[in-house]
Amino acid sequence: MRLLAIIFSIMIAALQWPLWIGKGSWLRAWQLDHQLVEKKQHNEKLKERNDALDADVRDLKTGSDAIEERGRNELGMIRQDEVFFQVLDKNHPALTTPSSASVAKASPAK
Protein backbone atom coordinates (compact mmCIF):
# COMPACT_ATOMS: atom_id res chain seq x y z
CA MET A 1 0.00 0.00 0.00
CA ARG A 2 2.85 2.36 0.84
CA LEU A 3 4.44 1.68 -2.55
CA LEU A 4 1.18 2.53 -4.31
CA ALA A 5 0.97 5.89 -2.45
CA ILE A 6 4.54 6.71 -3.49
CA ILE A 7 3.80 5.83 -7.12
CA PHE A 8 0.65 7.99 -7.13
CA SER A 9 2.57 10.89 -5.53
CA ILE A 10 5.24 10.67 -8.20
CA MET A 11 2.59 10.55 -10.95
CA ILE A 12 0.79 13.60 -9.54
CA ALA A 13 4.10 15.48 -9.28
CA ALA A 14 4.93 14.51 -12.89
CA LEU A 15 1.55 15.78 -14.06
CA GLN A 16 1.92 19.04 -12.11
CA TRP A 17 5.47 19.73 -13.35
CA PRO A 18 4.44 21.35 -16.70
CA LEU A 19 1.81 23.46 -14.95
CA TRP A 20 4.27 25.07 -12.56
CA ILE A 21 7.65 24.95 -14.29
CA GLY A 22 7.25 23.77 -17.90
CA LYS A 23 6.93 25.70 -21.17
CA GLY A 24 3.34 26.81 -20.59
CA SER A 25 3.67 27.31 -16.85
CA TRP A 26 2.15 29.93 -14.60
CA LEU A 27 5.55 31.58 -14.26
CA ARG A 28 5.89 31.93 -18.03
CA ALA A 29 2.34 33.33 -18.28
CA TRP A 30 3.17 35.91 -15.59
CA GLN A 31 6.37 36.90 -17.44
CA LEU A 32 4.50 37.32 -20.72
CA ASP A 33 1.82 39.40 -19.00
CA HIS A 34 4.53 41.64 -17.54
CA GLN A 35 6.14 42.04 -20.98
CA LEU A 36 2.75 42.89 -22.47
CA VAL A 37 2.22 45.69 -19.95
CA GLU A 38 5.70 47.12 -20.72
CA LYS A 39 5.07 47.01 -24.47
CA LYS A 40 1.72 48.76 -24.06
CA GLN A 41 3.37 51.55 -22.06
CA HIS A 42 6.10 51.90 -24.69
CA ASN A 43 3.50 52.00 -27.47
CA GLU A 44 1.58 54.72 -25.62
CA LYS A 45 4.71 56.89 -25.44
CA LEU A 46 5.36 56.35 -29.15
CA LYS A 47 1.72 57.20 -29.93
CA GLU A 48 2.03 60.49 -28.03
CA ARG A 49 5.22 61.31 -29.94
CA ASN A 50 3.56 60.45 -33.26
CA ASP A 51 0.56 62.62 -32.39
CA ALA A 52 2.86 65.57 -31.67
CA LEU A 53 4.71 65.04 -34.97
CA ASP A 54 1.39 64.77 -36.81
CA ALA A 55 0.27 68.07 -35.29
CA ASP A 56 3.54 69.70 -36.41
CA VAL A 57 3.07 68.42 -39.95
CA ARG A 58 -0.53 69.68 -40.10
CA ASP A 59 0.57 73.06 -38.75
CA LEU A 60 3.37 73.32 -41.29
CA LYS A 61 1.02 72.42 -44.15
CA THR A 62 -1.75 74.83 -43.22
CA GLY A 63 -0.18 77.90 -41.62
CA SER A 64 2.75 80.16 -42.29
CA ASP A 65 3.37 80.94 -38.60
CA ALA A 66 4.89 77.52 -37.97
CA ILE A 67 7.14 77.83 -41.01
CA GLU A 68 8.32 81.25 -39.86
CA GLU A 69 8.96 79.98 -36.34
CA ARG A 70 11.04 77.05 -37.60
CA GLY A 71 13.00 79.33 -39.90
CA ARG A 72 13.83 81.64 -37.01
CA ASN A 73 14.69 78.96 -34.44
CA GLU A 74 16.36 76.29 -36.54
CA LEU A 75 17.85 78.23 -39.45
CA GLY A 76 18.50 81.64 -37.86
CA MET A 77 16.46 83.47 -40.50
CA ILE A 78 15.18 87.00 -39.98
CA ARG A 79 12.69 89.14 -41.86
CA GLN A 80 13.71 91.92 -44.15
CA ASP A 81 14.09 95.22 -42.22
CA GLU A 82 14.58 93.39 -38.91
CA VAL A 83 17.57 93.87 -36.64
CA PHE A 84 19.13 90.74 -35.14
CA PHE A 85 20.70 90.84 -31.68
CA GLN A 86 22.69 87.89 -30.37
CA VAL A 87 23.27 87.71 -26.62
CA LEU A 88 26.15 85.51 -25.50
CA ASP A 89 26.68 84.00 -22.07
CA LYS A 90 29.73 84.92 -20.01
CA ASN A 91 31.00 81.36 -20.33
CA HIS A 92 30.64 81.30 -24.11
CA PRO A 93 33.89 80.17 -25.83
CA ALA A 94 33.95 83.20 -28.13
CA LEU A 95 34.19 85.56 -25.15
CA THR A 96 37.07 83.85 -23.35
CA THR A 97 40.59 85.10 -23.93
CA PRO A 98 42.78 82.84 -26.03
CA SER A 99 45.52 80.94 -24.23
CA SER A 100 49.18 81.72 -24.88
CA ALA A 101 49.58 78.46 -26.80
CA SER A 102 46.84 79.36 -29.25
CA VAL A 103 48.23 82.90 -29.64
CA ALA A 104 51.67 81.50 -30.43
CA LYS A 105 50.19 79.19 -33.05
CA ALA A 106 48.09 81.93 -34.55
CA SER A 107 50.93 84.48 -34.91
CA PRO A 108 52.71 84.46 -38.28
CA ALA A 109 56.27 83.13 -38.46
CA LYS A 110 59.02 85.74 -38.97
Of 53 and 69, which is predicted with more confidence?
A: 53
- The contacts found for 77-83 with CB under 8 angstroms, 24 or more apart, are none
Residue 89 has φ and ψ, to the nearest 5°, of -75, 160
Length of the chain: 110
Residues 6+ apart with CB under 8 A from 20: 26, 27
Per-residue pLDDT at 106: 46
Per-residue pLDDT at 20: 77
Of 46 and 13, which is predicted with more confidence?
A: 46
pLDDT for 5 beyond 50: yes
State how far the Cα of 107 lies from the Cα of 110, in Å rounded to an integer.
Answer: 9
pLDDT for 61 beyond 70: yes
Percent of the chain that is helix, strand, coil (3-state, to 5): 70, 0, 30
Mean pLDDT (the chain, rounded)? 81
pLDDT for 98 beyond 70: no
Per-residue pLDDT band for 104 (boundaries 50, 70, 90) equals: very low
